[in-house]
């Protein structure tokens, strides 16, 4: 009873400003032309390519984030409390800078006359400037940078639950440090890897700013396409259908996530 | 289950303390019965300890008295008034929590003043006086402006005591209040708590799993096991005359020898013990018949051994083979075999020096210090 | 540290460098003394901050973002805190579904929310209104408050609230006088995060507030497309500095009410 009173305002709000609008969007996608918009998206080679590109970028970004984030999360788990505090502040720090500007800074760094190319040419590694911008590499680099804090915090909150004495126990029973890590810590941290992977993948699916700024036409992601259909082509049923398809994918992944992981473990309670 | 008729001192206590009566109180957590139809009268102004292993229902009972839990059956009354419908904040109780549960965002003064601010609307001078007085009682004067995290464990415990006492509640509940402290400090605070009880005369209900604490502090010990009360009595009664093997063992080292009743005589049973000998054990009105299995209970400190056993005026003496002699500081712990059953003897230095492992010696105890425990209870 | 200590430190350092370098670039460029984007800047000055704060378009953008963000943070807190109490204390059945719903509100792609809210607002007349944008942003703000408060309540010793109750406080008074002050830092952090996500959100802002008023994110987005001078770096850094000021306040609040350290519950 009390639970309902406390939950009702939030639930009503989410229904009014999230569920109902989304339902309206789905209805809109069928309203005028029935299934035709869906058929258009799934059969047109252009949209199919965008879907595949989106999946490819998300997979690369997720793997990259996990690879780079894991050592940092492990360091956070095993280091002294004072150092941990400092590292946590540093990890969360980029979040405070605007998302758009974080991608923009890569444009400055990776451009033809950017810092990286100045170094590469200046040190004689290459004759001319390297094409570092507007390709798959720059998009993934920018996205990994943005998604790393989420990855690290999710991995860290899962690793905190591992009893580090188990690693000591493995060592005392003859495992080298490296083997103890591989046979004890790594398997125990797998749930964290799955949780972080799912969450990062779902977040990556909706990226708009980074691929628009750092990618070329070849790296167009689904959010950009939906924006173009809606605001340039003004084809609302088609945009809605594309949105509905994206929604189905993210919802399925989220249901998998919440089936296995609890909400309060997410982000380790952000900045604690 | 009440105590003897109140004496003069008890009458004074009855004004300051409340009588708590539990009547067939039951609490379920899902399929688990945490408290199973317990009935108990806690006399006004007494110091009563609920003693039992973890999971015996003692903390649940305390939380039912506090009103944090609603019983699934039975009643609780204070001075004959049912309190089932009274929420915790109107029960006028003081409570000391195991984790102390001090308010981290308030100073010592704020913590101790809290119950007064909630229950009365005291003037500033009155408030300061009452808080100062209470802090002096627990020996914390001068720490008013510290925050709980700036205090040692013992000081935090005292703040928790002061907060519970400041509004002079007629009932004080304590849930393992000394569990987090080291042994020395614990012993000192046991004395201080007892002193406070004598000073203010409220009813104290104290939960612990530490039998020494229960025996030292209480007027009345309530032993709980498996969600039920197994014995209620004075510390001496539960220690010296346990009703069953569980109580005997839980309250301290106990020798429990399996035996068989051969006959019921005028004051004693004749019991055959594992070495084949027949010993006398007081029956105290028990009704075991010849042939029934029985457990003979004797405390290790009541048994004498070797030459001192022979010279003592023991009424039971029987041969035993020494198996082990352990030095435990203030005494020796000697294990001897009576037949195939070990008994433990707490031996003085002089006794221990007279025995050797493997020797057969005489062990003896006063008949009235032993008990025949019915194996079925 | 256990495995390959030095290597681990090295890798961690490099990852942190990668994470923080773009931030450093933007902050430094905002203090650049020249007209073009170059890193490292040849000289330092405050000229771009002067430019920003004397331009009415930028000042308007700041003001719009401040209003939308503040309203979002307020609504998210008012709706999220009670829900977090319910989730961590009272809800037993349907917990998984509620978790999934809150999570969905957070990570559903912006483009879906933007499209859906636009179609929804057209008949409601909420387009081009500041509350309209804040109402939509609140959906993504609530999860930050809920997640933080649920985590904080999980680490909160409920005996502290019981102690208030048994010593005479009514249950409501115990929550407001004792529990809320203790978990306040988590609530504030949640609210600040809700503000930040509102300030950084672009797509919903484009759809809801496109014509008349432009919030900062939209202004920045238009700025980076032309990207000729360091003014957008200065604009962003100003917001960040303001928010970090807020965060420092939070941390100071946090210092005051650190939980009591006891050896109990060892």
Q: Do C166 and B95 touch (CB under 8 A)?
A: yes
Alpha-carbon span A165 to B184, nearest angstrom: 31
Is residue C22 domain-resident?
no
Residue B243 has a CB neighbour count (10 Å cut-off) of 18
Chain B contact set for C266 (CB, 8 A): 180
Q: Chain A partners of C112 at a C-beta cutoff of 8 Å?
A: 22, 25, 206, 243, 246-247, 250
Nearest to A96 among C12, C86, C244 (CB): C244
Residues 240-259 of C with CB under 8 A from B: 256-259
A151's CB contacts (< 8 A; 6+ apart) are A65, A66, A68, A69, A73, A196, A200
Q: Would you place residue A24 in the very low, low, confident or very high pLDDT band (cuts 50, 70, 90)?
A: very high
| Position A149 pLDDT exceeds 90 | yes
Phi and psi torsions of C101, nearest 5°: -65, -45
Which of the four CATH numbers 3.40.50.300, 3.40.50.620, 3.30.420.40, 2.40.50.100 does domain B253-374 have? 2.40.50.100
Residue B315, both tokens: 């009424």
Name the DSSP class of B327.
E
Residue C173: the pLDDT is 94
Q: What is the CATH number of the domain that holds C203?
A: 1.10.3720.10
Of B337, B340, B339, B330, residue with least CA distance to B357 = B337
| B118 contacts on C by Cβ (under 8 Å) | 164, 167-169, 173
Instruction: Spell out the long-range contacts of B28-32 with Cβ–Cβ below 8 A and sequence spacing 24 or more.
Output: B28/B72
CB B162 within 8 A of CB B138: yes
DSSP-based three-state secondary structure for B84: coil
Considering only the beta carbons, identify the residue of C163, C170, C178 that sits closest to B97. C163
How confident is the model at residue B377, as a pLDDT?
Answer: 67
Chains B, C: CB contacts within 8 A come to 101
Residue B205 forms beta bridges with which residues? B48, B173
A vs C: CB pairs below 8 A:
288
d(CA B61, CA B72): 12
Q: Do B103 and C164 touch (CB under 8 A)?
A: yes
Q: Residue A46: give the domain boundaries.
A: 37-266
Q: Write down how long chain C is.
A: 266
Which fold is adopted by the domain B8-245? Answer: Rossmann fold (3.40.50)
Nearest to A230 among C89, C115, C154 (CB): C115
CATH 3.40.50.300 in chain B is located at 8-245
Continuous segment of H or E residues that includes residue A222:
helix A222-227
Task: Output the DSSP codes for C66-77.
Answer: HHHHHHHHHHHH
Chosen for mutation from A1, A2, A21 (greatest number of chain C CBs closer than 10 Å) is: A21
Residue A29 inside a domain? The answer is no
Sole residue written with tokens 């007081």: B282
Torsion-angle region of B142 (φ positive above 0: left; ψ -120 to 50: alpha; else: beta): left
pLDDT tens sequence across C11-47 = 999 999 999 998 888 888 888 888 777 777 888 888 8
A107 cis-preceded (ω within 30 degrees of 0): no
**CA-CA distances (angstroms) from residue C56 to A127, C8, C47?**
46, 49, 16
Tokens in use for B115? Answer: 């119950």
Nearest chain A CA: its distance from C209 CA (Å): 14
> Which residues on B lie below 8 Å from C259 (Cβ)?
104, 149
> Is-contact A206 C110, C-beta < 8 A?
yes
Residue C1 lies in a domain: no
Higher pLDDT among residues A126 and B298, named by residue = B298
Asked if residue C156 belongs to a domain, the reply is yes
- Average pLDDT, integer, range C87-110: 87
Smallest Cβ–Cβ distance between A264 and the set C101, C144, C150 belongs to C150
Residue A174's pLDDT is what? 81
| Paired sense of beta strands B171-175 and B203-208, if any | parallel
pLDDT (tens digit, 9 = 90+) per residue, B95-143? 999 999 999 999 999 999 999 999 888 889 999 999 999 999 999 999 9
Residue C93, both tokens: 């059945």
Residue with tokens 């998302």: A99
Judge whether A223 and C109 are in contact, CB under 8 Å.
yes
Angle (nearest 5°) at CA B141 between B140 and B143? 75
Q: Give bridge partners of residue B76 from the DSSP assignment.
A: B22
Q: What angle do CA C173, C177, C183 make, to 5 degrees?
A: 125
Minimal C-alpha gap between C151 and chain A (Å):
5
CA distance C202 to C206: 6
Contacts of C119 in chain A (CB under 8 A): 21, 24-25, 28, 236, 240
Residue B313 has what pLDDT? 61
How far is C194 from C73, CA to CA, in rounded Å?
5
Write the burial class of residue B9 (CB in 10 Å: 0-12 exposed, 13-18 middle, 19+ buried). exposed
pLDDT at A189: 92
Residue B77 pairs in a beta bridge with B21, B82
> Where does chain B hold its CATH 2.40.50.100 domain(s)?
253-374
Residue C201 structural domain: 56-265
Q: Are C132 and C72 in contact (CB under 8 A)?
A: no
The H-or-E segment that residue B21 falls in is: strand B20-29
* Nearest CA distance, B185 vs chain C (angstrom): 14
Quick one: DSSP state of residue B256?
A: E
Strand partners, B222: B50, B232
Q: What is the CATH number of the domain that holds A58?
A: 1.10.3720.10
Distance CA B155, CA A28 (A): 67
Q: Do B104 and C159 touch (CB under 8 A)?
A: no
- The interface predicted TM-score (ipTM) is 0.90
Q: Judge A/B contact: 3 or more CB pairs < 8 A.
A: no
Predicted confidence (pLDDT) per residue in A234-262, tens digit: 899 999 999 999 999 999 998 888 777 76
Residue A109 gets the label, from left (phi > 0), alpha (psi -120 to 50) or beta, of alpha
Q: Does C172 touch chain B (CB under 8 A)?
A: no
Q: Percentage of chain C surpassing pLDDT 70?
A: 91
Per the structure, how many domains does chain C have? 1
**C185 to each of A230, A269, B197, C70, how far by Cα in Å?**
41, 12, 40, 17
Mutate to test the interface with C, among B103, B134, B149, B179 (most CBs of C within 10 A): B103
Phi, psi of C4 (to 5 degrees): 35, 65
Residues in chain A: 272
User: C265 vs chain B: nearest CA distance in angstroms?
Assistant: 7
Q: Is B98 on the interface with C (CB under 8 A)?
A: yes
Cβ–Cβ gap B93/C170 under 8 Å: no
Q: Is the pLDDT of residue A99 over 60?
A: yes
Tell me the pLDDT of chain C averaged across its residues: 86
| CB spacing of B89 vs C169 below 8 angstroms | yes
- Number of Cβ within 10 Å of residue B23's Cβ equals 16
For A237-268, the three-class secondary structure string (H helix, E strand, C coil) is HHHHHHHHHHHHHHHHHHHHHHHHCCHHHHHH
Residue with tokens 């507030």: C209
Q: How far apart are the first and last CA of chain C?
A: 24
Please report which helix (H) or strand (E) contains residue B155, including its range.
Answer: helix B153-165
- CB contact (8 A) between residue B89 and residue C265: no
Tell me, yes or no, whether C95 lies in a domain.
yes
Residue contact A14–C86, C-beta within 8 A: no
* Chains within contact range of chain B (3+ C-beta pairs < 8 Å): C
Cβ-contact B276, B339 below 8 angstroms: yes
In a domain, A95, yes or no: yes
Q: Which two tokens stand for residue A67?
A: 């690879």
Task: Kindly state whether residue C23 falls inside one of the protein's structural domains.
Answer: no
Are C203 and A208 in contact (CB < 8 Å)? yes
Residues (pLDDT < 70) of chain B are: 1-15, 308-314, 377
- Min Cα–Cα distance to chain A from C167, Å: 23
For chain A, how many structural domains are there in total? 1
pLDDT, position B91: 93
Q: Is the Cβ pair B104, C259 closer than 8 Å?
A: yes
pLDDT grade for A268, boundaries at 50, 70 and 90:
very low
Residue B248 to residues B211, B226, B372, C80, Cα–Cα distance (Å): 11, 16, 11, 54
Which segments within B79-149 are labelled E, that is strand? 81-82, 93-96
| Tokens 């804040």, located at residue | C134
Chain C residues 103-142 with a CB less than 8 Å from chain B: none
On chain C, the residues whose CB falls within 8 A of the CB of B100 are 260, 262, 264
- For C1-64, strand residue ranges (E) read none
User: Nearest to residue A219, comparing CAs of A165, A129, A143, A160?
Assistant: A143
pLDDT of residue C261: 39
Give the model's pLDDT for residue B218.
95
Rounded to the nearest angstrom, the minimum Cα separation between A247 and chain C is 7
* Dihedral sign computed on CA atoms, order B114, B115, B120, B125: negative
* Contact between chains at C236 and A97 (C-beta distance less than 8 A): yes
Residue B119 touches chain C, beta carbons under 8 Å: yes
- At residue B236's C-alpha, the angle toward residues B233 and B239, to 5°, is 90
Q: How far apart are CA B227 and CA B238, in angstroms?
A: 18
Q: Is residue A27 part of a domain?
A: no
HSE-CB at B75 with a 13 A cutoff on CA atoms is 9
- Token pair 């009893």 is found at A163
- Give the span between the Cα atoms of C45 and C31, in whole angstroms: 5
Write out chain B residues lying below 8 Å of C256, CB-based. 105
Task: Note the pLDDT tens digit of each residue in A26-69.
Answer: 999 999 888 999 999 989 999 999 999 999 999 999 999 999 99
């Amino acid at each position: 009873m009390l639970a309902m009173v406390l939950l009702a305002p939030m639930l009503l709000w989410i229904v009014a400003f999230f569920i109902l609008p989304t339902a309206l969007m789905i209805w809109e996608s069928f309203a005028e032309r029935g299934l035709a918009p869906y058929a258009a998206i799934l059969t047109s080679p252009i949209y199919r390519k965008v879907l595949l590109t989106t999946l490819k970028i998300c997979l690369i970004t997720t793997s990259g984030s996990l690879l780079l984030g894991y050592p940092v999360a492990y360091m956070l788990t095993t280091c002294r409390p004072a150092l941990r505090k400092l590292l946590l502040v540093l990890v969360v720090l980029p979040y405070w800078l605007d998302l758009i500007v974080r991608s923009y800074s890569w444009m400055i760094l990776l451009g033809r006359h950017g810092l990286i190319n100045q170094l590469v040419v200046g040190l004689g590694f290459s004759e001319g400037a390297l094409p570092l911008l507007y390709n798959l590499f720059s998009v993934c680099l920018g996205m990994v940078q943005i998604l790393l804090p989420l990855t690290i915090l999710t991995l860290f909150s899962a690793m905190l639950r591992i009893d580090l004495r188990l690693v000591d126990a493995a060592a005392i029973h003859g495992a080298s440090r490296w083997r103890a890590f591989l046979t004890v810590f790594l398997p125990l941290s797998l749930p964290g890897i799955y949780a972080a992977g799912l969450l990062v993948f779902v977040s990556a699916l909706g990226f708009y700013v980074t691929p628009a700024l750092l990618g070329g036409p070849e790296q167009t992601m689904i959010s950009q396409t939906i924006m173009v259909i809606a605001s340039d082509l003004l084809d609302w049923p088609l945009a809605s259908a594309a949105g509905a398809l994206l929604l189905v994918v993210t919802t399925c992944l989220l249901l998998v996530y919440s089936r296995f992981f609890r909400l309060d473990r997410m982000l380790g309670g952000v900045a604690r | 289950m009440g105590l003897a008729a109140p004496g003069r001192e008890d009458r004074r206590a009855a004004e300051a303390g409340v009588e708590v009566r539990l009547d067939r109180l039951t609490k379920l957590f899902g399929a688990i019965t945490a408290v199973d139809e317990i009935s108990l009268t806690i006399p006004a102004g007494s110091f009563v300890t609920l003693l039992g292993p973890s999971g015996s229902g003692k903390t649940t009972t305390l939380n039912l008295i506090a009103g944090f839990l609603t019983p699934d059956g039975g009643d609780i009354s204070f001075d004959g008034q049912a309190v089932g419908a009274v929420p915790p904040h109107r029960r006028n109780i003081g409570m000391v929590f195991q984790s102390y549960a001090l308010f981290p965002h308030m100073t010592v003064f704020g913590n101790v003043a809290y119950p007064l601010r909630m229950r009365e609307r005291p003037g500033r001078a009155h408030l300061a006086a009452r808080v100062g007085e209470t802090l002096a009682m627990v020996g914390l004067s001068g720490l008013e402006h510290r925050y709980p995290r700036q205090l040692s464990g013992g000081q935090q415990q005292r703040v928790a005591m002061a907060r519970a006492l400041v509004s002079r509640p007629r009932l004080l509940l304590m849930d393992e209040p000394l569990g987090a402290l080291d042994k020395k400090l614990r012993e000192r605070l046991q004395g201080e708590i007892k002193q406070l009880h004598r000073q203010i005369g409220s009813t104290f209900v104290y939960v612990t799993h530490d039998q020494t604490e229960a025996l030292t502090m209480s007027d009345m010990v309530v032993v709980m096991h498996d969600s039920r009360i197994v014995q209620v009595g004075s510390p001496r009664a539960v220690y010296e005359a346990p009703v069953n093997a569980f109580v005997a063992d839980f309250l301290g080292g106990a020798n429990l020898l399996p035996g068989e009743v051969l006959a019921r005589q005028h004051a004693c049973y004749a019991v055959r013990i594992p070495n084949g000998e027949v010993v006398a054990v007081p029956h105290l009105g028990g009704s075991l018949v010849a042939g029934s299995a029985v457990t003979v209970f004797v405390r290790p400190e009541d048994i004498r051994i070797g030459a001192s056993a022979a010279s003592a005026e023991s009424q039971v003496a029987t041969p035993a083979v020494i198996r082990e002699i352990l030095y435990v500081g203030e005494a020796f712990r000697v294990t001897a075999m009576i037949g195939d059953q070990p008994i433990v003897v707490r031996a003085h230095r002089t006794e221990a020096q007279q025995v050797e492992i493997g020797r057969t010696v005489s062990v003896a105890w006063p008949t009235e210090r032993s008990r025949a425990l019915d194996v079925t209870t | 540290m256990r495995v390959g200590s030095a290597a681990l430190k090295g890798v961690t350092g490099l990852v942190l460098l990668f994470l923080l370098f773009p931030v450093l670039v933007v902050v430094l460029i905002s203090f650049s003394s020249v007209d073009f984007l170059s890193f490292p800047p040849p000289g330092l000055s405050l000229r771009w901050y002067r430019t920003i704060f004397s331009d009415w378009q930028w000042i308007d953008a700041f003001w719009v973002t401040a209003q939308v963000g503040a309203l979002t943070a307020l609504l998210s807190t008012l709706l999220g805190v009670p829900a977090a109490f319910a989730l961590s204390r009272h809800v037993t059945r349907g917990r998984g579904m509620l978790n999934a719903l809150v999570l969905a509100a957070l990570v559903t792609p912006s483009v879906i929310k933007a499209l859906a809210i636009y179609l929804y607002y057209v008949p409601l007349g909420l387009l081009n209104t500041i509350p309209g944008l804040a109402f939509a942003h609140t959906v993504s703000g609530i999860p930050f408050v809920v997640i933080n408060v649920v985590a904080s309540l999980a680490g909160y010793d409920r005996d502290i609230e019981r102690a208030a109750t048994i010593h005479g406080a009514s249950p409501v008074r115990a929550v407001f006088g004792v529990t809320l002050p203790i978990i306040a830092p988590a609530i504030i952090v949640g609210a600040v995060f809700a503000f930040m996500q509102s300030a950084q959100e672009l797509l919903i802002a484009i759809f809801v507030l496109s014509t008349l008023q432009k919030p900062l994110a939209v202004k920045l987005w238009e700025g980076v497309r032309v990207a000729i001078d360091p003014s957008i770096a200065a604009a962003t850094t100003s917001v960040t500095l303001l928010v970090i000021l807020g965060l420092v306040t939070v941390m100071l609040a946090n210092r005051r009410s650190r939980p009591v350290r006891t050896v109990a519950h060892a």
